[in-house]
A = this chain, B = another copy of it.
Amino acid sequence: MPGEFDLIDWIRQTQRSSPLLHLGIGDDLAALKWPAEELLLVGVDQVVDGVHFDSSLHSPRQIGRKAMNRNLSDCAAMGCLPAAAVAAVALPGDFSLDRAKELCQGLRQAGDAFDCPLIGGDTASWDGKLVLSVTILGRSAGGKIVTRAGAHPGDGIFVTGPLGGSILGRHLTFEPRIQLGRELAAVATSMIDLSDGLSRDLAHVCRAGGVGAIVDKAAVPIHSDAVELSRRDGVSPLQHALNDGEDYELLFTSAGKVPHEIRIGQITAEPGIFIRGEDGIPRPLAPLGWQHEIGH
């Protein structure tokens, strides 16, 4: 079944150029030359009931926070500073005004933590479930921005924290790595936030850079949530760390040493993504992370 990446590919391939456009569809954010000496970054990210949250379990405030934080995480992944956001919300018919306000408070609290005010929005009510989309504006503010492309053979592959099992709660409570992203931008050759899962997000980076990768199995940092989840579902903690989405740590590549971050492997000239265990033999690492399927 085709997925969202087939759609994104098609969109990218058929994209028209524009004098204002610095970076188009397909990265964490798009970038405009606006003003000429700066970059204006823009991106949109939505959460929908039953996929990214469950409105019967999660409070409107949690949902609002998550929607904003996902966008802030995209800013982190570009190494830019968030500047402002707008939100569109489709409210179920029985969603009260108080709950709508709570949703807005969640958006704002998350934005305010990074000086990113909510400056506009649109509300509709309908007979469907809750959909909340946030558009974020970022600015390069004198710094370098880092795309998904740019990884070179020999670069180390790094992540900024332990992975897996975010569904146990971290997918709602994560902290976007804005400051860290800004710092890493100085040394990173490519960067992405881990939203779709390490195996899939690394595939995005390799594809964008026209390179391959070897991941060291023993180096992949496993979150205690991945261990806990493994106890419940029998899937190994490593598989959770490789394939669960919504960690919202940063995955980046760098030619230098990056002392405080976790090196999990190396970029190769040969295409293909492999994982190497104790026997030293690289085995293919399939991108099993999250992708929205699009029906026929």
Contact = CB atoms under 8 A, between A and B. Distances in A.
Query: Max chain B CB contacts within 10 Å: which of A16, A35, A124?
Result: A124
26 contacts: A7-B123, A8-B121, A11-B104, A20-B83, A21-B84, A21-B117, A24-B119, A24-B120, A30-B86, A30-B119, A42-B119, A43-B120, A46-B122, A46-B133, A48-B128, A49-B126, A49-B128, A50-B128, A51-B126, A52-B124, A86-B135, A88-B88, A93-B293, A96-B294, A125-B295, A128-B128
Query: Max chain B CB contacts within 10 Å: which of A49, A121, A122?
Result: A122
Question: Top 7 A-B pairs ranked by shortest CB distance?
Answer: A135-B135, A88-B133, A30-B120, A35-B35, A30-B119, A46-B88, A125-B292
Interface in A107-161: 108, 112, 115, 117-129, 131, 133, 135, 137, 139
Given A42-B137, A95-B294, A97-B7, A126 B48 contact: yes
A227 interface: no
A255 to B, nearest CB: 28
A93 B293 CA distance: 8
